[in-house]
A and B are shown apart, each in its own frame.
Chain A
């Protein structure tokens, strides 16, 4: 199935900003972070289709996954 993956802030360094890739059924944000060599403890915010999700959230065809390190501002 195809999932759009977006990376932000330092996660982009040496990787990519956004892309649509093929993944196996039942894959989770944790699995994708692992494939990208992003340590789980560095993942601050997970959004799936603009909603906050957990790392073990089950992804489906056409989903957009956004991964952020723990960052903030204001």
Chain B
């Protein structure tokens, strides 16, 4: 039987509850957002006792469905003040699903000045005081816990950034190689830190298989689904070979690669940090250009990056991080970017927010553009140590902009704008503006259709069709984020007609239900509206669905494009 586990840190009590009927059909983002909206007062302080941190595996997580091992984390975000869902790979989601845990809800704040850990197993959940690992980086936590509890232990952990409640802090998830995946965006690591939880360990020994109501139907659907993933050129060949970083050269060529803190759309040294160069470097140094973030991933977009001596430097080395520290900070040395990526994993800080932040910090004069070694120094000496400067930097792009009086600060709802310039890729600007999460490319990835010719083509430089494109993608994404699926299943789903029905068939076979395509669309719409209602009650209005002023007034080369949507045009987004 599936269950809800609650931990109240105020009195260190734990409770196992039956799943309420209204939550039974939900998973992942749909469930975390529903719980946060129902139980967290929207006006509460995100780091105070009223906020709750919720983890939920997706509807298909733990089943043999390909690419279904994502875990959603939700809370009110200390970075944006909005509702937040951030999902990640790693081993924890499948373990929680096998343990029958539909959601883990962490409430309250301890009275004592102490740190704690949670341990989840077939026996339920326990709370223990933790002393040994307080102050340690995430890699040391994983190493120590594997020695203490066994190699197979699932781990969710925060680094120094989360302990210090920095608003860019993430929650790290152990991956199949004992390295790190991240619930990156929105500062959820600070929420975990506010609850004084250093880590959550998971042991799924003795857990049964995830039950499937109609195994034969499930097998048929899951074969069709896997075939679609492998047949599509993006998920079947491009991503496993070049990783997400293949986008550097595409966005550069299309003039949408934000460069030097969003002052240009092309980076002269693009080929030094490109996916092609990354691939060659990895192969030459004996790293891995194919790697999955969770068992059952057949896309394998990730990679393992080695240094010149062939020693591990980092993994899960993504386009957004490489773009941000590369083009946006004008650093053209992949080794420096890789070292910084590994440090961000260890410190437990979002590599998108932090990369965007460094672009603003360079504009502020804290360090010069192009100073990769300076980035490493600031990560090690200031952020990891929580100095006064480190805390400003650890607050993200908006924090540095405020502290240093910078006006070119690429954020929406205080969350850093990722790797696509909204002036020259206009659909993604609508997503940044309207997403319930603050600026988030994954919320409605119009790059697929604006740039990559997936799901048709909508001209990135024109306004026509962008609001509808972003709306359709945000609705679909909210639904996909509830299944536990990797968002990259959207590439085949947009192009191969058998893909989405197979996904729905798997959900139906898993639960013995009969959802239709319309039901799934309605679920996506419902989730967005629940999230938006939370934000409205938290004090957000349509005037917050706007991009920073400089995007309107500063044309970006090479297209000399500006952000030219009227407020009324943006507000059409919510007309559904």
| Residues in A lying within 8 Å of B, measured CB to CB | 6, 8-10, 12, 17, 42, 44-45, 47, 50-52, 66, 68-74
Q: Using known A-B contacts A9-B275, A73-B243, A74-B445, determine if residue A68 contacts B250 with beta carbons closer than 8 Å.
A: yes
* Shortest CB distance A52–B (Å): 7
Going nearest first, the 9 A-B pairs with the smallest beta carbon separation are A73-B244, A71-B238, A70-B233, A72-B234, A50-B255, A73-B247, A66-B253, A72-B452, A71-B246
A6 to B249, CA, bound (A): 10
Nearest A residue (CB) for B266: A50
CB A5 to nearest CB in B, in angstroms, measures: 12
Query: Distance (Å) between the CB of B333 and the closest chain A CB?
Result: 19
Interface SS, B side: helix
Q: Do the beta carbons of B559 and A45 come within 8 Å of each other?
A: no
**Can you list 27 contacts pairing A with B, beta carbon distance less than 8 Å?**
A8-B246, A8-B276, A9-B275, A12-B276, A17-B276, A44-B452, A45-B452, A50-B254, A52-B459, A52-B460, A66-B253, A69-B237, A70-B238, A70-B454, A71-B233, A71-B238, A72-B234, A72-B246, A72-B247, A72-B488, A73-B244, A73-B247, A73-B301, A74-B244, A74-B441, A74-B442, A74-B445
Cβ-closest chain A residue relative to B487: A74
Complex: how many Å from CA A6 to CA B276?
13
Residues of A contacting B83 with CB < 8 Å?
A: none
Q: Are the C-beta atoms of B238 and A9 separated by less than 8 Å?
A: yes
User: Is the C-beta of B261 less than 8 angstroms from some C-beta in chain A?
Assistant: no
Interface contacts (Cβ under 8 Å), in number, total: 92
Chain A residues lying within 8 Å of B488, measured Cβ to Cβ, are 72, 74
Whole-angstrom CA separation of A17 from B252 in the bound complex: 14
B194 lies within 8 A of chain A by Cβ: no
Contact status A9-B276, CB under 8 Å:
yes
A-contact 0/1 string along B421-437, CB 8 Å cutoff: 00000000000000000
Chain B contact residues, CB within 8 Å of chain A:
233-234, 237-239, 241-247, 249-250, 253-255, 271, 275-276, 301, 319, 441-442, 445, 447-448, 451-454, 457, 459-461, 487-488, 491, 558-559
**Cβ contacts under 8 Å, A45 to chain B:** 250, 451-453
* Complex Cα spacing A70 to B237, Å: 9
A50 to B424, CA, bound (A): 11
In the bound complex, do residue B234 and residue A70 qualify as a contact, i.e. CB atoms below 8 Å apart? Answer: yes
- CB contacts (< 8 Å) of A72 on chain B: these are 234, 238-239, 246-247, 447-448, 452, 454, 488, 491
A74 with B275, Cβ < 8 A, contacts A6-B253, A45-B452 known:
no
- Complex: how many Å from CA A68 to CA B275? 13
Among residues of A, the one whose C-beta sits closest to the C-beta of B232 is: A70
* A46–chain B nearest beta-carbon distance, Å: 9
Expressed in whole angstroms, the Cα–Cα distance for A51 and B241 within the complex equals 26
A24 to B459, alpha carbons, bound, how many Å? Answer: 29
**Residues from chain B with Cβ under 8 Å of A8 in the complex:** 246, 249-250, 253, 276
Contacts A45-B451, A45-B453 hold; do A73 and B253 have CB atoms under 8 A apart?
Answer: no
A71-B246, A73-B247 as given contacts; A10 in contact with B253, CB under 8 Å: no
The CA of A73 and the CA of B250, in the complex, are separated in Å by 10
Cross-chain contact of A50 among B239, B454, B491, B558 (Cβ < 8 A): B558
- Which residues of chain B are within 8 angstroms of A42 by Cβ–Cβ distance? 233
- Inter-chain contact B319/A73, CB cutoff 8 Å: yes
Among A9, A10, A66, A69, the one with the most B-chain Cβ atoms within 10 Å of its Cβ is A9
A74 to B558, CA, bound (A): 22
CA distance A15 to B319 in the complex (A): 25
B residues near A12, Cβ cutoff 8 Å: 276
Residues of B within 8 Å of A52, CB to CB, are 254, 451, 453, 457, 459-460
Q: Which A residue sits closest to B233, measured CB to CB? A: A70
CB-defined contacts of A47 to chain B, threshold 8 Å: 253-254
Partner of A73, one of B245, B254, B271, B461: B245
Q: Given the complex of chains A and B, what is the CA–CA distance between A68 and B276 in angstroms?
A: 12
A-side contacts of B239, CB under 8 Å: 71-73
Closest to B320 in A: A74
Q: A70-B454, A73-B275 are in contact. List 13 more A-B contacts (CB 8 A).
A: A17-B276, A47-B253, A50-B559, A52-B451, A69-B238, A70-B234, A71-B237, A71-B238, A72-B246, A72-B488, A73-B239, A74-B487, A74-B488
